[in-house]
Amino acid sequence: MSKAHDKRFDATRPGQRFLRLAGMSAQLAGQIAKDRVKRALGQQDPEADPRALYRDIGLKLATTLGEMKGAVMKVGQIASQFKDILPDEVVSALESLQRSSPAMPYPRIAEQIRQELGQPPERLFAHFDKHPYAAASIGQVHRARTHDGQEVVVKVQYPGVDACIDSDLKHLRMALKLSGLLRIDKAVIDRIFAEIKRSLEDELDYRKEADNARLFAEFHRADDKILIPAVITELSSQRVLTLEHLAGDAMSEVCAPRYPQATIDAIGHRLFAALGAQIYALGAVHCDPHAGNFAFRADGSVIIYDYGCVKKISPAVIDVMRQTARAALDQRYEHFDRIMIAMGVRNTRHTERIDSDFYADWSRTIMLGFSATPHDFGQSNLHERIIAQAKRHWKYWPAFQPSADTLLVQRTISGHYWNMRRMGVIAAFRPDLEASLQLTAEKPV
């Protein structure tokens, strides 16, 4: 069978995608029901690894969502970063969606370009590479060269993705519910899925992404070491986005001898300052911290790609985030419970009040990443300490829930911790955080 007719990618209409998700749901629910019956009847092998079931479920989820692409794959990517929503074994399997995605055959990509821009890529461009430069959840990127000789990248949305958002999210949610995997209240799930839907609708309109790229380029224009690709308007549309190609080194290449430690540390500070300024001054955050969305140059420049996932934050939420950071810096732990409730992270149904000692313990751990003395992120075990601490405080977790308002921002901050760790940044970020908290937006975005 030719790649052009690869059946893995045939589910491009809501009805087809529903059937595939329904089939996956039935398989997952059947696996869990069978396991429960065996346990109830005492037929489970005492030597069997209890985690094997969830590993199998995670593999099935990751494989199906990766091949379906679109909203369901994006939700899988987001879910992989929130261990309080799904079992650890499922999260581990879904993490593969962050690293790779099967590419869609070129004939389908070429037809999408023809439908959007009126001509096939071979006529629109002097050269168009048929092999994708990168493949993601809702589209893939190809290198090309314009007729006037400019090197560009062309981001092409997969066919049918935008028409399937509502159906995808509805049926994926049903699949997770039937499988018994979701651990949070219905009202919280409603808010989270509504936020994911909003984000996806924005991300699927490449005209909005083009506007976001222009917005961030203008916002960062005073820093000549924050580089953002320019939009090629005449070769862009709702489902095709052409950008100038800004070359740089991948994050995995940011190491000696090309990058001395001082340059690596400067890059870390630049990334931190950019994120802080986006939150507290722009009120809009580049919310896809995947390593592939960043490139670097030996002079310490940072290139930031992909403005499809941008979270605009209301002044009220920014104020609560500022209060949280300020309380942590000033060690005013008695204020945390009130702030967490205001943020929507803490529900009072499970526990009416949580003592400040609990927040003090958490704050001291997390603030190690924002210390006044240099922290070696390359050797950091902060993530391990957080996991160990979560196990110690397990009895409080029903009192906490993800917040739709800060879900993507938290994902971004967590993702950049891993980016700092990959690059081996050594930095004291407390002064950077203090400077960010002094910023204010001139006007909401």
Are residues 425 and 325 part of one domain?
yes
Sign of CA dihedral 138, 144, 149, 151: positive
Are residues 139 and 48 part of one domain?
no
Are residues 360 and 228 part of one domain?
no
* C-alpha span between 346 and 398 (Å, rounded): 9
Are residues 382 and 443 part of one domain?
yes
Nearest of 436, 384, 432 to residue 265 by alpha carbon: 432
Please enumerate in sequence order all residues whose Cβ is within 8 A of that of 161, keeping only pairs 6 or more positions apart, or say none: 12, 69, 70, 71, 138, 139, 204
Confidence at residue 117, expressed as pLDDT on a 0 to 100 scale: 97
Q: What is the number of other CB atoms lying within 10 angstroms of the CB of residue 212?
A: 23
Confidence at residue 90, expressed as pLDDT on a 0 to 100 scale: 65
Confidence at residue 53, expressed as pLDDT on a 0 to 100 scale: 73
Confidence at residue 22, expressed as pLDDT on a 0 to 100 scale: 64
* Bridge partners, residue 242, by sequence: 154
Are residues 289 and 226 part of one domain?
no
Are residues 277 and 257 part of one domain?
yes
Are residues 445 and 350 part of one domain?
yes
Are residues 9 and 152 part of one domain?
no
Domain limit, last residue, from 246, 273, 305? 246
Are residues 233 and 179 part of one domain?
no
* C-alpha span between 13 and 360 (Å, rounded): 50
Residues of the chain with pLDDT under 70: 1-19, 21-22, 25-26, 28-29, 32-33, 38-40, 43-51, 61, 65-102, 171-172, 174-185, 188, 442-445
State the residue range of the domain holding 241.
105-157+205-246
Confidence at residue 345, expressed as pLDDT on a 0 to 100 scale: 86
Domain limit, last residue, from 246, 277, 307? 246
| Domains: count for the chain | 3
Residue 135, CB-side half-sphere exposure with 13 Å CA sphere: 18
Are residues 299 and 254 part of one domain?
yes
Residue 6, CB-side half-sphere exposure with 13 Å CA sphere: 13
* C-alpha span between 444 and 435 (Å, rounded): 20
Confidence at residue 413, expressed as pLDDT on a 0 to 100 scale: 93
- 352-402: pLDDT as tens digits: 889 899 999 999 999 999 999 999 999 999 988 988 888 888 888 888 887
Are residues 182 and 138 part of one domain?
no
Are residues 220 and 120 part of one domain?
yes
Give Cα separations from 112 to 108, 200, 237, 437 (angstroms). Answer: 6, 19, 11, 44
Confidence at residue 8, expressed as pLDDT on a 0 to 100 scale: 45
Confidence at residue 46, expressed as pLDDT on a 0 to 100 scale: 60
Please enumerate in sequence order all residues whose Cβ is within 8 A of that of 199, keeping only pairs 6 or more positions apart, or say none: 287, 309, 311, 408
Please enumerate in sequence order all residues whose Cβ is within 8 A of that of 386, keeping only pairs 6 or more positions apart, or say none: 365, 366
